[in-house]
Amino acid sequence: MLEADYVIVGSGSAGAALAYRLSEDGRHSVIVIEYGGTDIGPLIQMPSALSFPMNMSLYDWGYASEPEPHLGGRVLATPRGKVLGGSSSINGMVYVRGHARDFDHWAETGATGWSFADVLPYFKRMENSHGGETGWRGTDGPLHVRRGERKNPLYAAFIEAGSQAGFELTQDYNGAKQEGFGAMEQTIHRGRRWSTANAYLRPALKRKNVSLVNGFARKVIIENQGATGVEVELRGAIQQIKAKREVVLCASSINSPKLLMLSGIGPAAHLAEHGIDIIADRPGVGANLQDHLELYIQQKSLKPVTLYSVLNPVSKALIGARWLLFKSGLGATNHFEAAAFVRSRAGVDYPDIQYHFLPAAIRYDGKAAVPAHGFQAHVGPMRSASRGTVTLRSADPRAKPVIRFNYMAHDQDWVDFRHCIRLTREIFSQPAFDEFRGDEIAPGSHVKSDAELDDFIREHVESAYHPCGTCRMGRADDPMSVVDPDCRVIGVAGLRVADSSIFPRITNGNLNGPSIMTGEKAADHILARAPLSPSNQEPWINPRWRDSDR
């Protein structure tokens, strides 16, 4: 009989951190259930190979949205990691904490104890920051965070162009001041992807009280309104893994609500449709689905300084060989080395637009490289009001869930994206780009009117792969809350959720950082430890925010 004090489903960003912290003092046994296999090998560990694992069924669950009604029926890929380290092993390795006001909003909407003052100490505990702002960053945590070398002159041109357009600069967007143009941070250490498998799980598995079970979680076993274990498929047989204390779902914003519903926790009418016995009627399970969308604004480069020069087989082989031998060179970066967070208009008090800059004109998934020297900015709004759902396709645990993002459902979404395109054109038109700037590749300089921009958006907008919110944290008396501020599933004892699905609202930027923080903080709630003392540090807010966007 497999049993442990704590059974964690999912070895990803939150799950690995949780396993590390729950087992740290040696007093409790932990079993981590992970369906995916090993993360060893250059396709995952080599940072510049990031487009491969995300598109491989070996490492990705292979989920996709239903046809999106506001995007002309397009189906968008929804990759989630199915491998040791979860999505931290297939993501773009960009590290963003989120803005202070994001977490204050969580607390204001019912996630008491999750304000910025409350979560900042956990970000510090988890970080080993190389080059971050003194006093704002952790320096001895498991998660190594660094900046790229920014050797390509286009990175400096992007940051300088932002300044020339009148925007702020920031020395550390994960420090006091998120707003502005500056260096982008990466979860890369000594030339390797620093996933939570490397940072947390491997050290935890060296302890006698932690074990890994390679199985497919089918549902949570619930007796007398309390979770007692997890039903798993192991080597073709269905078994139970018993939790002496608690079960914690860290299975992603797609799989955690799916598992809750398969276990009888969710919207009663929906569960009844699929013949599932209702344990707890929680209409919020699978609701509140959010994501970030982005566009690639691409420009030809007059100078042959872009990554186009190395997109040939010989150069790729040399880059790969150098990485294998020395863990250095172009293979040791994700190439996202310059960034910006800016505000869209006067009256917005903190950034609501994110930029990733890349010295190449190529899609994130590695497909459709423009056959010419070029550069691009990935740009998108941070706080869309559009909400979607994750629901069951059937009561078969192997069936893929039904994912409906409902992207671009609000008029403001279109206003915001048009502004993003026009703003990027303004930045690319600054003197800093004069020596590099060729013709606009996408959307193309002929695309100008609102209607033309909307057509481009509808056809080309892509997910930034930041789904969250489907097991929302909030007050226990709020019918749409799924977990309380201690991450406990409301109405079921001995069961918690701790991953990006509990986010009440999506945070600024990439979600790997806040997901790891969630695992870190949830561990203290589960162990009934006093939380880390709240911070009294005040984030920078632009003094001109009422009057100007910059």
- Domain limits of the chain? 1-65+78-100+186-289+468-530
- For residues 133 and 180, give the distance between their C-alpha atoms in angstroms, rounded to a whole number: 15
Write the pLDDT tens digit of every residue in 94-130: 999 999 999 999 999 999 999 999 999 999 999 999 9
Question: Is 302 part of any known ligand binding site?
Answer: no
Is pLDDT of 408 > 70? yes
Let me know if 479 is exposed, middle or buried by CB neighbors in 10 A (0-12, 13-18, 19+): exposed
Question: Is 5 part of any known ligand binding site?
Answer: yes
pLDDT at 367: 66
Is pLDDT of 365 > 90? no
- Of the candidates 142, 119, 548, 61, the one whose C-alpha atom is nearest the C-alpha of residue 346 is 548
User: Does domain 1-65+78-100+186-289+468-530 fall into CATH 3.40.50.2020?
Assistant: no
Is pLDDT of 368 > 80? no
- For residues 232 and 244, give the distance between their C-alpha atoms in angstroms, rounded to a whole number: 16
Question: Is 30 part of any known ligand binding site?
Answer: yes
Let me know if 153 is exposed, middle or buried by CB neighbors in 10 A (0-12, 13-18, 19+): middle
Is pLDDT of 1 > 80? no
**Residues identified as active-site:** 466
Write the pLDDT tens digit of every residue in 62-78: 999 999 999 999 999 99
Contact (Cβ atoms closer than 8 angstroms) between residue 364 and residue 298: no
DSSP conformational letter for 508: S
Is pLDDT of 165 > 80? yes
pLDDT at 157: 98
Contact (Cβ atoms closer than 8 angstroms) between residue 271 and residue 261: yes
Question: Is 3 part of any known ligand binding site?
Answer: no
Contact (Cβ atoms closer than 8 angstroms) between residue 423 and residue 181: no
- Of the candidates 338, 340, 333, 368, the one whose C-alpha atom is nearest the C-alpha of residue 462 is 368
CA angle 539, 541, 545 (to 5 degrees): 170
Question: Is 548 part of any known ligand binding site?
Answer: no
pTM of the model: 0.98
- For residues 550 and 548, give the distance between their C-alpha atoms in angstroms, rounded to a whole number: 5
Kindly report the number of other CB atoms within 10 A of residue 7's CB atom. Answer: 30
Q: Given CA atoms 51, 57, 59, 62 in this order, what sign does their dihedral have?
A: positive
pLDDT at 265: 98
pLDDT at 56: 95
pLDDT at 363: 78
pLDDT at 369: 78
Question: Is 91 part of any known ligand binding site?
Answer: yes
Write the pLDDT tens digit of every residue in 24-54: 999 999 999 999 999 999 999 999 999 999 9
Residue written as tokens 């989920």? 63
Is pLDDT of 284 > 90? yes
Binning pLDDT at 50, 70 and 90, where does residue 7 land? very high
End-to-end CA gap in the chain? 61
DSSP conformational letter for 264: T
